[in-house]
Amino acid sequence: MSHGHVVAVRTYVAVFLALMALTVLTVAAAFVDLGPLNNVVMLGIAILKATLVVLIFMHVKYSTRLIPVVVVGSVFFLVILFVITMSDYLTRGWREIGAP
């Protein structure tokens, strides 16, 4: 008796097919002009694909609660890296607050 949850083959195959479909979708969407939405769609699809891999292939859906805490926690710190660095960069042209 395995000490971990055994996932059905059909579940793995279903996830694989979903990942294939999303890959095709992301390439197709790249050629359509959606304006600023292009970036949102690209990233959104990539995040969805990554979520499927994390939850099913990496078994996080079947794991104890501590594992998702580590996963979400590391992404949280990644977001801090992006947000604070870009905030610095994007506000460089601003005039100094309270300058004489």
Partner 1 sequence: MSTSHVSALAHQFDTLEQQKESATLGMWLFLAQEILFFGGLFMAYLLYRFRDPVAFAAGSHELDITLGLVNTVVLIASSLTMALAVRSAQLSRTRQLVQWLGATGLLGLVFLVIKYFEYSAKWHHRLVPGPYFEFPEAAIGDRAEMFFSLYFAMTGMHALHMVVGIALLAWLLVPAARGKFHADYYNPVECFGLYWHFVDIVWIFLFPLLYLIGRHYHAGG
Binding test (CB under 8 A) with partner 1, winner from 10, 36, 82, 87: 82
One residue of 9, 94, 95, 97 binding partner 1 per CB under 8 A: 9
CB of 97 to partner 1, least distance (A): 23
Burial (CB count <10 Å: 0-12, 13-18, 19+), residue 82: exposed
Is residue 66 at the binding interface for partner 1, with CB under 8 A as the rule? yes
Reading the block at residue 11, the tokens are: 């579940």
Exposure string over 36-45, b if 16+ CB within 10 A, otherwise e: eeeeeeeeeb
Cα Rg for the chain, rounded, in angstroms?
20
CB of 78 to partner 1, least distance (A): 5
Binding of partner 1 at residue 94 (CB under 8 A)? no
Pick 93 or 98: Cβ nearer partner 1:
93
CA distance 22 to 38: 15
Select from 10, 87, 89, 91 the one that contacts partner 1 (CB under 8 A): 89
